[in-house]
Amino acid sequence: MSAPVTLITGTRKGIGRHLAEYYCDRGHIVYGCSRGDPGWSRENYKHFVADVSNEGEVKPIFSAIRREHGRLDNLLNNAGIASMNHSILTPMDTVKKIMETNVIGSFLFCREAAKLMKANKYGRIVNFSTVAVPLKLEGEAAYVASKSAVEGLTNVLSREFASFGVTVNVVGPVPIETDLIRAVPKEKIEALVARQAIKRLGQMEDVVNVVDFFLKRESEFITGQSLYLGGV
Amino acid sequence: MQQEIVELIIKTAKELGDEELSLSQELNADTQLFGKDGVLDSMGLVTLIIAVEQAIEDRYEVSVALADEKALSQARSPYRSVTRLAEYAAGQMQDT
Ligand SMILES: NC(=O)c1ccc[n+]([C@@H]2O[C@H](COP(=O)([O-])OP(=O)(O)OC[C@H]3O[C@@H](n4cnc5c(N)ncnc54)[C@H](OP(=O)(O)O)[C@@H]3O)[C@@H](O)[C@H]2O)c1
């Protein structure tokens, strides 16, 4: 069997970078993107500078994958942004940016990936939500709205893509120490962790474990599911 | 250009075969694709559109999305007939 072809969004840093390096080391051919230059490299890794919500920048990624491999096995829609702010204090521009990156970006990648995956009658898509959705976290209205949309999108696509042999699932991490939560006050994070069944921060390995599970060939009967870490 | 794309669509449909598209007849320029009297069901349409997008990319090296808001509106849908789809694709290619 040839090496799996895996596309991961938001690979410059944080969870996306970790996933990209992890799957490269596991022998995948990994394609990644982010708005900035990654500043790291790996054999078997190819980076595109692209904003996930920009159709014109995204399409060439899929053209390249099709030209170079003729198929795509896995898509991880990791790119995402957040804003911690009371809704009353949240500017419209912030709301738009969050929706564009998290919702429109995920939609666009799912749509284009499914076209490639359908041809091969095989595919695994993992979208990224957060425990802030089930916890109804105050101070993250726009972010939670966007990730709720990602979950809704996942639910419908799991049905639309089922006949293509493509599964679509969601992983919902708890707080993990990346730039995404660096600006959030410590007490806020502690209060959030206190609401988990297992009260600790998440680790990259916790996310990897769930993604690995969704990507397994044997997971062909698992779709449209949201799996939250920490017992939320 | 448009005539060329008409032929490309017909060829693409033929390559997909009756099984993928559940077609009972070969397409021609006037074949009604989708909607009233259309030969394709919605899954067949999705399959054909993906294949045509890829065929256009292979032939012309431009990447188009033949997604359209008016898919389900009978009168203005670009999926109405082979000719209409070719016309629509040619328009999209000019825009990119
Ligand atoms: N860390 C947590 O506590 C946590 C918890 C729950 C869920 N999550 C989810 O996990 C995912 C990854 O988060 P993270 O913590 O790794 O965040 P991060 O450290 O802030 O990294 C975000 C990554 O996404 C890229 N990115 C952002 N906007 C983009 C855009 N418009 N187009 C392309 N790339 C874009 C960034 O690169 P550029 O800036 O170069 O574009 C960066 O590589 C997100 O979906 C997040 O919602 C994280």
Q: What is the pLDDT of residues A163-202, one digit of tens each?
A: 999 999 999 999 999 999 998 899 999 999 999 999 999 9
pLDDT tier at B72 (50, 70, 90 boundaries)?
low
- Distance of alpha carbon A122 from its chain centroid, rounded? 19
Task: Provide mean pLDDT across the span B25-46.
Answer: 90
CATH number at residue B19: 1.10.1200
User: Which among A66, A115, A163 is the nearest to B43, CB-wise?
Assistant: A163
CA triplet A62, A76, A106: central angle to 5 degrees? Answer: 70
**Least confident among A96-100, A189-193, A204-208, B26-30:** B26-30
Residues in chain B within 8 Å Cβ distance of A56: 96
- Domain holding A108, by residue range, is 5-231
Proportion of chain B above pLDDT 90, given as a percent: 57
Strand ranges (DSSP E) for chain A? 5-9, 29-34, 45-49, 74-77, 123-128, 166-172, 226-228
Give residue A130 CA to ligand 1 midpoint distance, Å: 12
**Average confidence (pLDDT) over A122-146:** 97
Say how far apart CA A91 and CA A73 lie, in whole Å.
38
Domain count, chain B: 1
Q: Which domain holds residue B47?
A: 2-95
- Gap between the Cα atoms of A104 and A115, Å rounded: 17
Q: Is B42 on the interface with A (CB under 8 A)?
A: no
A1-32 pLDDT, tens digit each:
799 999 999 999 999 999 999 999 999 999 99
Question: Residue B46: is its pLDDT beyond 90?
Answer: yes
Interface residue B43 vs chain A (CB under 8 A): yes
* Beta strands at A5-9 and A29-34: parallel, antiparallel or unpaired: parallel
Predicted pLDDT of residue B18: 78
Q: Is residue B1 within 8 angstroms of chain A, CB to CB? A: no
Residue of B nearest to A160 (CA): B43
Specify the pTM: 0.96
pLDDT for the residue B71: 66
**Residue B77: pLDDT band by 50, 70, 90 thresholds?**
confident
SS3 A32: strand
What CATH code is carried by the domain that includes residue A204? 3.40.50.720
